[in-house]
Amino acid sequence: MADNLDLVTSSDPLHPSQLIPELCQLFYQLGWTTGTGGGVSIRVDNLVYIAPSGIQKERIIPLDLFVMELSTSRVLRAPPAPATPSSCTPLFFNSYRLRNAGACIHTHSPHAVLATLVYSGPTFTIRNQEMIKGIRQGTTGRGLQNHDTLVVPIIENAPREDQLTDAMAAAMAAHPDTCAVLVRRHGVFVWGATWEQTKVMTECYDYLFDMAVRMRHLGLDPAA
Amino acid sequence: MADNLDLVTSSDPLHPSQLIPELCQLFYQLGWTTGTGGGVSIRVDNLVYIAPSGIQKERIIPLDLFVMELSTSRVLRAPPAPATPSSCTPLFFNSYRLRNAGACIHTHSPHAVLATLVYSGPTFTIRNQEMIKGIRQGTTGRGLQNHDTLVVPIIENAPREDQLTDAMAAAMAAHPDTCAVLVRRHGVFVWGATWEQTKVMTECYDYLFDMAVRMRHLGLDPAA
Amino acid sequence: MADNLDLVTSSDPLHPSQLIPELCQLFYQLGWTTGTGGGVSIRVDNLVYIAPSGIQKERIIPLDLFVMELSTSRVLRAPPAPATPSSCTPLFFNSYRLRNAGACIHTHSPHAVLATLVYSGPTFTIRNQEMIKGIRQGTTGRGLQNHDTLVVPIIENAPREDQLTDAMAAAMAAHPDTCAVLVRRHGVFVWGATWEQTKVMTECYDYLFDMAVRMRHLGLDPAA
Amino acid sequence: MADNLDLVTSSDPLHPSQLIPELCQLFYQLGWTTGTGGGVSIRVDNLVYIAPSGIQKERIIPLDLFVMELSTSRVLRAPPAPATPSSCTPLFFNSYRLRNAGACIHTHSPHAVLATLVYSGPTFTIRNQEMIKGIRQGTTGRGLQNHDTLVVPIIENAPREDQLTDAMAAAMAAHPDTCAVLVRRHGVFVWGATWEQTKVMTECYDYLFDMAVRMRHLGLDPAA
C-alpha cells in the first residue's frame, strides 16, 4: 500500500483532511469525543476519510487520517502502523451505502447516553420543539416541521462496534426517515447529505436529547 | 440588485458586518445558536444587517450578510444565491419598527425553552434577583430595580417564524415595558437601543431563565 | 483631574491595568460576570484599580479603568465621561480598609446565588471537603483544614450596592475569619492578601457553593 | 542543589516540561484543577516531573516545575524558593513504584467528589457503559469490555495528602486491576503506562462518575 500522502495534504480548510481535525477539536469541547470516544468521517465521491482508532480526537492531525475506497473498502492511505481505522468504520459505511451520506458523526455525548436510559424502549420520541426543524426527513431531505414527532431508533449495545453493523442497518431500514440511530448506553450516529448538514443535525439531535432528559427530570413529558 | 460589497466591508471591528460574525461565535459557545438556530441583527439608521437563514452561525463571515432598508424592507445587499435572509427577519423588524431598537438577538437557549415549559401560562415572572437590574424598562429606557417584578410575555410557537410576527407585535403592545418576548418551545427575542444593551440584556434574561428553572427544580418559587 | 494615562499604561502583564481586563475575560467564561455583573478590583499600596460601572466586563481594556487613592477616596485617573466607577466601589473599599486586602472579586455566579436561596438563614455552612483547604482564615492568613467548618455570612440584598456597605462591614466584624460575604439573591464578595489568593479563594468558594447546592438537590447534607 | 535548567528546557511540545503546563490549562477548563487543586505528574525513566504546590495550575510555566529522581526521591531541579513540590508527590510516587506508571493525574473534579458522596461505601461501581472500554485492566494493560463491571476503590480523606499514601497503596494492593483511586470528598488519582493513556482514562473515569451521579439523580441504578 502506497502512502498516498497527497490524499491528506491540502491547503483548503474545507478539505476533509483539514476539516476532520478541526471538527474533532470542536466536538471535544462539546463533550462529544472525550476519552478518544466518538468520531467523524467524511465522504467525497468514492473516497472515505476516517480517523484512526483509539487516538485522542482533539489532537488528530491530517497525517493521522485513513482514506478508504467506498466501493471496495480498500485502504488507499494509512498512517504508519500500528494505527488502525476507527472501529466505527462499518457503521460509517452503513450511512454511505444505505443512505448515500456525505458524512457521518458519532458521539458519546452524555445527553445521548442519558436519553437511551430515560427512554427504555426501542425509540426516542419528542415533539413540539423548534429545534426539530433542524432535522431532515431521510427519504426526502426536507426539513421536519416543529410540530412533527421526531422518532430516533435505539439499538442495544454490543461488545464490539462492528457487531452493531447489522442492528444499525436494520434500524435504518425500519425507520427510513431517520438520520440518526442511538446506541443504548453508548452514543449516537448521525449522517447527512453533506458535512454541514450532518454537523447541524448532530447539534439539533444533541440539543433535543438533552432537552428531553431535562424535561423528564422536571416531570414534563417530551412527547406530549 | 447590485452587490454593494462596500456595505459589508469595514476595518472597524465594531461595524455590524464585523460584529455580527463575532457575536455569533460567542453565542454559539454560550449554547444560544447551535444547529443554525437563533441569530443577530443590528440596525444603523435605516440599514438593517441580517444573517442568512440556515447557515452555521459560528462560521458566518461578513460576506454572508444581508443588508436591508428599514423603511422599505428592500434588500440592498445580498450574498450569492441560494442564500435567503434569516427567517426571523419580520420579527427583527418588529423590534425596529415598534420600538426603534438598535439591535435584536434571537436565541434557542435551552434556558429560555425550559422556562417556557416550566411556566405554562402566558408570562414568565421572577423577582428579587440582582440580575433584574440589568434589564431596562421598555418605555423609559431606565434600568429596573432588583425588587421589581420582571414579566416576560410568552407567545405560542407556530410552524413558520413569520407566522409569529403578529403575536409578537401583540405581546409587545400588551407589555410596553418588556424588552423580550419568549416563544414557547422555541426560544426568545431580545431588543434594545444599542447592540451593547441588547447583548447585556440577553445575558441577563438568559441568566434569569436558568435561575428560575433551577429554583423550581429545587422546590423554590422564583416569583416569591 | 488630570488624565494620568501612565497609571493604566504598562507592558507588564501582571500590572493591575493589564490583569483586570484579563481576569474579567476569564470570569466571563466562568459565568461570573455575565450581563456586566460582578467585577474585580486590585490594590497596590495606596492605589486602587477599579473597573467602570455598567460596561461589558469581557470587553474592558486598560484605558477603561479608574484609579483611586485608598486613603482619600480621590479619583486619580478616570476614563472619559460618562464612565463612573463600579457601583461596588464602597464594598471593595470595605475589604481594603477593614482587612488590608490586596484585591477584591465580586461575582454574580449562579452557584453563589443558588447557595443563598438553598441556605435561607444568615450563614452558608459546609464541612469535610478538600477544597476548604483553599480558603484562608481571615485573622491568621493560614489555610483552613479540610475538616474545618467553613462559614460564610449571608447579608440581605438592597436596591443599590452602596446600601450594602454597612451590612457587609457588620458581617465582616461578626465573622473576623471569613474572606467572603454572600449577598442574598445577588452574589458574593471575596478578598485576600494578593490578587492570586483572592482569585484562588473565589474559585474554591464557588466550587463549594456549587457542591453544596448539588448535594442538597441529591438529598445530602453539606454540613454533616 | 544545582538549578539544572536544562531539565525543564525543551523545544519539543511533548516534553514533560512543555506538556504539563499545557495539560494543566486544559484541565482547568475542564473544572479539574480550579483553585490550585489537582495536578499532573509525568515520569520519563528515572525522572519524575512535578508541578509546585499551591500555584494556579492554569498559569504554570516550564520553569515552575520540579524534577525528582524516582529511585532516590532526590530533587534534581527546583524553581526558586519558596516553591515546594506538589503535596501529592508521595501519591504520584505510589503509581510509579507500585505500578510502574508513566504519568499520574489528580483532579478535584466535582464529578469525582459527588460520586464519592452518592456511593457511601468503599467502592464506586458502574457497568454496561461504552466508556468503560476506555479503561484498562491494571494487571494486563488490556482494555475492559463495556459489559465488565468497573470498580474503583474509595479511600477516606485525611488532613494532609501525604497521610493518604498508605491508604492509597493498600487500595491499589486490594484492587490490582484498578487504574484509579477515589478519595472521599476530595477527588481522584488516575495513572497509566503513558501520559496519553493516563489522560484518556482520566476523561473516561470522569465521564463515568458524572454519568453515575446523573443516573442516581434520575432514579436509575448505574450498577444494574
Over residues A141-152, mean pLDDT: 97
Q: What percent of chain C has pLDDT over 90?
A: 93
How far CA B99 is from CA of B104, B137, B172, B181, C44, in Å, comes to: 11, 12, 9, 13, 46
Touching check for D134 and chain A: CB below 8 Å?
yes
My answer on whether C79 and C128 are in the same domain is no
Of C58, C69, C130, C203, the catalytic one is: C130
Residue B3 scores a pLDDT above 90:
no
- Centre a 10 Å sphere on the Cβ of residue C75 and count the other Cβ atoms it contains: 17
Residue-wise pLDDT for A19-54, tens only, equals: 999 999 999 999 999 999 999 999 999 999 999 988
| Mean pLDDT score, C179-204 | 98
Please indicate whether, in this complex, the C-beta atoms of C130 and D114 are within 8 angstroms of each other.
no
Query: Which DSSP state fits B173?
Result: H
CA distance D61 to chain C (A): 15
B117 and B80 assigned to the same domain? no
Strand partners of residue C85: C52
Same-domain status, C118 and C214: yes
For residue C195, give the chain D residue with the closest CA: D56
Yes or no: say if B60 and B15 are a contact pair by the CB < 8 Å rule.
Answer: no
Is C157–B146 a contact, with Cβ atoms under 8 angstroms apart?
yes
Categorize the per-residue pLDDT at C2 as very low, low, confident or very high, splitting at 50, 70 and 90. Answer: low
Element (H, E) at B23: helix B16-29
> Which strands make up the sheet holding D180-183, listed edge to edge?
D75-77, D66-69, D47-50, D39-44, D103-107, D187-192, D180-183, D149-155, D123-127
Q: Are B79 and B152 in contact (CB under 8 A)?
A: no
CA atoms within 13 A on the CB side of A80: 0
- Joined together, the cell numbers standing for residue D224 give 444494574
- Grid cell, residue C94, equals 470595605
**Residue ranges of B for the binding site?**
88, 106, 108, 186
State whether D203 and D124 are in the same domain. Answer: yes
Backbone angles phi, psi at D217, to 5 degrees: -65, -30
DSSP string for residues in chain C: ----GGGG--S-TTSHHHHHHHHHHHHHHTTSSGGG--EEEEEETTEEEEPBTTS-GGG--GGG-EEEETTT--EEE-PSTT--B-TTHHHHHHHHHHH--SEEEEE--HHHHHHHHHS-SSEEEEES-GGGGGSBPTTT-PBPPTTSEEEEEEEPP-SSGGGGHHHHHHHHHH-TT-SEEEETTTEEEEEESSHHHHHHHHHHHHHHHHHHHHHHHTT--TT-
Max CA pair span of chain B: 58
C-alpha to C-alpha distances, C138 to C130, C142, C173, C193, C196, nearest whole angstrom: 18, 8, 11, 10, 15
Is C210–D110 a contact, with Cβ atoms under 8 angstroms apart?
yes
Cβ of C131 within 8 Å of Cβ of D108? The answer is yes
pLDDT score at A28: 97
Kindly tell me if the per-residue pLDDT of A83 is higher than 90.
no
C203 contacts in D (CB within 8 Å)?
34-35
Helices A89-99, A165-174: inter-axial angle, 10-degree rounding: 30
Residue B122 lies in a domain: yes
Do C33 and C133 fall within a single domain?
no
Partnered with residue A67 across adjacent β-strands are A49, A77
Q: Which domain holds residue A8?
A: 1-86
Place of cell 426501542: A122
Asked whether the bond before C82 is cis by omega within 30 degrees of 0, the reply is yes
Contact status, residue B25 vs residue B43, Cβ threshold 8 Å = no
Look up residue D162 and give its DSSP letter: G
Distance from CA of C27 to the nearest CA of B (A): 14
Within 10 A of D11 (CB to CB), how many other CB atoms are there? 6
Grid cell at residue B106: 434571537
Is a pLDDT exceeding 90 seen at residue A171?
A: yes
CA–CA separation, C48 and C130 (whole Å): 33
* Known binding positions of D for Zn(2+): 106, 108, 186
For chain C, say whether D147 makes contact (Cβ under 8 Å): no
Q: Which residues of A touch D215 (CB under 8 A)?
A: 114, 117
Q: Quick check: D207 and A117 CB within 8 A?
A: no
CA distances to B194, C113, C209, D115, D190 from C215, in Å = 41, 15, 10, 11, 24
With a cut of 90, say whether residue B4 has pLDDT above it.
Answer: no
Q: How far apart are CA C161 and CA C168, in angstroms?
A: 10
For residue C175, say whether it is annotated as part of any ligand binding site. Answer: no
Are C132 and C203 contacting, i.e. CB atoms less than 8 angstroms apart? no
Do B134 and B69 share a structural domain?
Answer: no
Give the whole-angstrom CA distance, residue B10 versus residue C215. 51
Q: Residue C116 corresponds to which cell in the numbers above?
A: 443563598
**Chain C residue with the nearest C-alpha to that of B205:** C35
- Check D134 against A35: CB less than 8 A apart: yes
Which pLDDT score is estimated for D213?
98
Closest CA of chain D from A81, distance in Å:
17
Report the distance separating Cα A87 and Cα A67, nearest Å.
14
Separation CA A135–CA D197 (nearest Å): 37
CB C190 within 8 A of CB C104: yes
Q: Which of A86, A116, A149 is the last residue of a domain?
A: A86
B51 within a domain of the structure (yes/no) = yes
Torsion, Cα A175 A178 A179 A184, to 10 degrees, reads -70
Window 91-110 of D: residues touching C by CB (8 A cutoff) are: 108, 110
Q: What does the pLDDT average to over B138-159?
A: 97
What is each CA distance from B98 to B48, B75, B94, B172, C106, in whole angstroms?
A: 15, 20, 6, 8, 37
Is C196 in the D-facing interface, judged by CB distances under 8 Å?
Answer: yes
| B82 and B126 inside one domain | no
Task: From the candidates A130, A156, A196, A203, give the one annotated as an active-site residue.
Answer: A130
Residue B171: its H or E element: helix B165-174
Q: How far apart are CA A166 and CA A179, in angstroms?
A: 16
**Lowest-confidence range among B33-42, B77-86, C187-196?**
B77-86
What's the one-letter identity of residue D107? T
* Chain C residue whose CA is closest to D217: C218
Q: How far is A160 from chain B (nearest CA, A)?
A: 31
pLDDT at position A54 is 87
Q: Does A214 touch chain B (CB under 8 A)?
A: yes
pLDDT of residue B54: 87
Query: Which regions of A27-183 does DSSP assign to beta strands (E)?
Result: 39-44, 47-50, 66-69, 75-77, 103-107, 123-127, 149-155, 180-183
Asked if residue D88 lies in contact with residue D107, where contact means CB atoms within 8 angstroms, the answer is no
Question: Which residue of chain A is at minimal alpha-carbon distance from B56?
Answer: A200
Our CA angle for D70, D20, C133, nearest 5°, is 85
pLDDT digit string (tens) for C142-188?
A: 999 999 999 999 999 999 999 999 999 999 999 999 999 999 999 99
* Distance from C-alpha of A43 to C-alpha of A102, rounded to nearest angstrom: 5
Instruction: Categorize the per-residue pLDDT at A204 as very low, low, confident or very high, splitting at 50, 70 and 90.
Output: very high
In this structure, what DSSP letter does residue B27 have?
H
Q: Are residues B52 and B132 in the same domain?
A: no
Angle (deg, nearest 10), helices A110-118 and A195-217: 50
Distance between CA atoms of residues C66 and C54, nearest Å:
13
Segments of chain D scoring below 70 in pLDDT: 1-2
Q: Which of B200, B172, B202 is nearest to B190 (CA)?
A: B202
CB of C204 within 8 Å of any CB in chain D? yes
Instruction: Give the DSSP H or E segment for A208.
Output: helix A195-217
Four-residue CA torsion sign, C17, C142, C209, C150: negative
Q: State whether A110 and D146 contact (CB < 8 Å).
A: no
Chain D partners (3+ C-beta pairs within 8 A): A, C
Distance between CA atoms of C99 and C77, rounded to whole angstroms?
Answer: 24
Residue from C30, C106, C113, C188 to probe the interface with B (highest B Cβ count within 10 Å): C113
Assess whether C130 carries a catalytic annotation: yes
Q: Tell me: do A119 and A220 sit in the same domain.
A: yes
**Options D22, D58, D130, D203, the catalytic residue:** D130
Residue where one domain finishes, among candidates D55, D86, D117? D86
Whether residue D155 contacts residue D172, with contact meaning beta carbons closer than 8 Å, is answered with no
Q: Name the band, by pLDDT with cuts 50, 70 and 90, for residue A2.
A: low
| D216 vs A: CB within 8 A | no
Q: For residue D153, give the nearest of D179, D132, D123, D188 by alpha carbon.
A: D123
D117 in any annotated domain = yes
| Structure ipTM over 0.85, yes or no | yes
Query: What is the domain-level CATH number for residue C217?
Result: 3.40.225.10
The answer to whether A104 and A89 have CB atoms below 8 angstroms apart is no
Best CA proximity match to C23, nearest among C62, C79, C53, C54: C62
Mean pLDDT along residues A197-203? 98
Is B214 in Cβ contact with C37 (below 8 Å)? no
Q: Are residues B68 and B137 in the same domain?
A: no
Residues C54, C112, single domain; the answer is: no
The pLDDT value recorded for residue B80 is 87
Contacts of B77-81 with CB under 8 Å at 24 or more apart are B77/B1, B77/B2, B77/B3, B77/B4, B77/B5, B77/B7, B77/B8, B78/B1, B78/B3, B79/B52
Cβ of C157 within 8 Å of Cβ of B134? The answer is no
| Tens digits of residue pLDDT in B157-208 | 999 999 999 999 999 999 999 999 999 999 999 999 999 999 999 999 999 9
**Strand (E) or helix (H) holding A111:** helix A110-118
B201 touches chain C (CB under 8 A): yes
The C-alpha atoms of residue C61 and residue C52 are separated, in whole angstroms, by 10
d(CA D124, CA D119): 6
Within 13 Å and on the Cβ side, how many CA atoms surround A142?
5
A30 and A112, same domain (yes or no): no
Q: Cα separation of D132 and C139, whole Å?
A: 47
* Residues A36, D134: C-beta atoms closer than 8 Å: yes
Is residue B97 one of the residues assigned to a domain?
A: no
Residues of chain D neighbouring A186 (CB-CB closer than 8 A):
129-130, 146
Q: How many domains does chain A have?
A: 2
- Any idea which residue has 486586602 for its cell? C101
Does B8 map to a domain? yes
Distance in angstroms (rounded) separating the CA atoms of residues A66 and A77:
5
The answer to whether position C140 is within a domain reads yes
- Provide the pLDDT for residue D2: 52
Residue whose grid cell is 513504584: D97
**Cβ–Cβ gap A110/D203 under 8 Å:** no
Averaged pLDDT for residues A131-153: 97
Q: Is C67 inside a domain boundary? A: yes
How confident is the model at residue B2, as a pLDDT? Answer: 52
Question: What number is the average pLDDT over the span A135-161?
Answer: 97
Q: Is residue D170 part of a domain?
A: yes
Residues of chain A with Cβ-Cβ distance to D145 below 8 Å are: 159
**Crossing angle of helices D110-118 and D195-217, rounded to 10°:** 50
Closest CA to B110 of B38, B42, B160: B38
Shortest CB distance from C35 goes to which of B128, B131, B147? B131
Report how far residue D134's alpha carbon sits from residue D123's, in angstroms, rounded to the nearest whole number: 19
* A194 contacts chain B (CB < 8 A): no
Domain boundary among A34, A54, A86: A86
**Distance between CA atoms of D39 and B224, rounded to whole angstroms?**
44
